[in-house]
Amino acid sequence: MSKIIIACGGTGGHLAPGIAVAEVLRERGHACLLLISHKQVDSALVEKYSHLDFIKMPGRAFTGGIFQRLAFLGSLVSAFFTSCRMLRDQAPDLVLLFGGFLSLGLGLAARSKSIPVALHEANCHPGKAVRMIKHLSTRIYLPDGVRLRGVPSESIRHFDYPVRKDIKHSPKADARKRLGLSVPNKLLVVIGGSQGASALNEWIKQNFGLLAKAGISVYCVTGLGNSTARTIHERGKGGADTTATFVPFSSSMGDVISAADLIVSRAGAGSIAEIIRCRVPSILVPYPYAADDHQKANALSHEQHGAGISLSQDKLNELSSLVLDLIFNDEALAKFKSKLERLDRFDSSERIADDLLALCNSQAIAKTENQEPAT
């Protein structure tokens, strides 16, 4: 049995794939310990995964002015020594890092103790943490077609984004029933990612009357702290009761996405991967202030694959007409779904688990050979 520590907290985009890989490893009889942050989104997301082991770790992002960056350096030093103690107590065979501020301290501590480091980058533009840790890593998992300067090709595997097993495609009628939704005509689902998207939430409030008259119901995941759960009613097409439902968080994202005729979403790698898995056409609105503008790169890549449409936030005034044109265009939606099916080629969680265990076995063999007395 191998033991792997996974640093994956801070955002849903880091945490969700860590959970996906941990579930596969645990099913195969291996031990996993997942490091998460103290953020509310982490606590909400892990609530349904009580069969997995989580530890909350402190940390700060490398953002802001000089004082915030000095605070980050202090936090990094503290995380390094905390990680060293944890590695001594847990004695893992390998650590797996999903980027973000929890990865740096653990990655440095692991290398100081000669523990192999595997690193996963979900975005088309690798983030700061990944660029900092890349030379410490035995293995790096990247999206298809993405390169990382200065890293030997033999260290890289293109395995894409691990999706949790409970995120899967379901018939629309079944997904809507489980969510308790009555949809007289079409359903637009709006997702702001784990942090929410105030611009998209506001767009719904301003445009729901227009959408309802056309026969479009709305289900919006607003993000924790952005609103309370509520439902707005409008008299829609043919006099039907048409609703806009707002929920701060959902633990049933597979059903939320599968229930939709069309998705409007931020362009985080996790959201896109789940949209692909559930095979629902989407309009992606990248967060314009994302680090390295990585959401724009993600959205453009998705659009170039013919699986959806990218729309910049400064063109939100065009979103209503785009939704109205697309959601009733069955031929266009069918073409998008066909492309989505082709993109959902394999289970990245299984492939990453296979590779991690191979690395653990190689490490175990190397240790055994080093311990054998010379003849």
Q: Which fold has domain 3-163+347-367?
A: Rossmann fold (3.40.50)
Look at residue 6 and tell me whether its pLDDT is greater than 60: yes
% residues pLDDT > 70 (the chain) = 91
pLDDT confidence of 102, banded at 50, 70, 90? confident
Token couple for 43: 């606590």
Q: What does the pLDDT read at residue 370?
A: 65
Please provide the size of the chain in residues.
375
pLDDT digits (tens, 9 = 90+) for 232-279: 999 998 899 999 999 999 999 999 999 999 999 999 999 999 999 999
pLDDT digits (tens, 9 = 90+) for 10-51: 888 899 999 999 999 999 999 999 999 888 889 999 999 999
Q: Which fold has domain 172-343?
A: Rossmann fold (3.40.50)
**For residue 145, how many other CB atoms are within 10 A of its CB?**
8
Q: Are 18 and 98 in contact (CB under 8 A)?
A: yes
Coil, helix or strand at residue 363 = helix
Of 217 and 198, more confident: 217
**Which residues have C-beta within 8 Å of that of residue 8, sequence separation ≥ 6?**
14, 15, 17, 18, 19, 34, 35, 36, 96, 97, 98, 100, 102
Of 81 and 96, more confident: 96
pLDDT confidence of 133, banded at 50, 70, 90? confident
Please determine whether the domains at 3-163+347-367 and 172-343 fall in the same fold group of CATH.
Answer: yes
Of 141 and 37, more confident: 141
Q: Are 297 and 126 in contact (CB under 8 A)?
A: no
One-letter amino acid for residue 44 of the chain: A
Coil, helix or strand at residue 130 = helix
Look at residue 205 and tell me whether its pLDDT is greater than 60: yes
Q: What does the pLDDT read at residue 280?
A: 97
Of 166 and 74, more confident: 166
Q: Where are the domains of the chain?
A: 3-163+347-367, 172-343
Q: What does the pLDDT read at residue 326?
A: 98
Q: What does the pLDDT read at residue 105?
A: 87
Pairing of strands 282-284, 262-265: parallel
Q: What does the pLDDT read at residue 320?
A: 97
Residue carrying structure tokens 């001594």: 88
How many Å apart are CA 50 and CA 39, to the nearest integer?
18
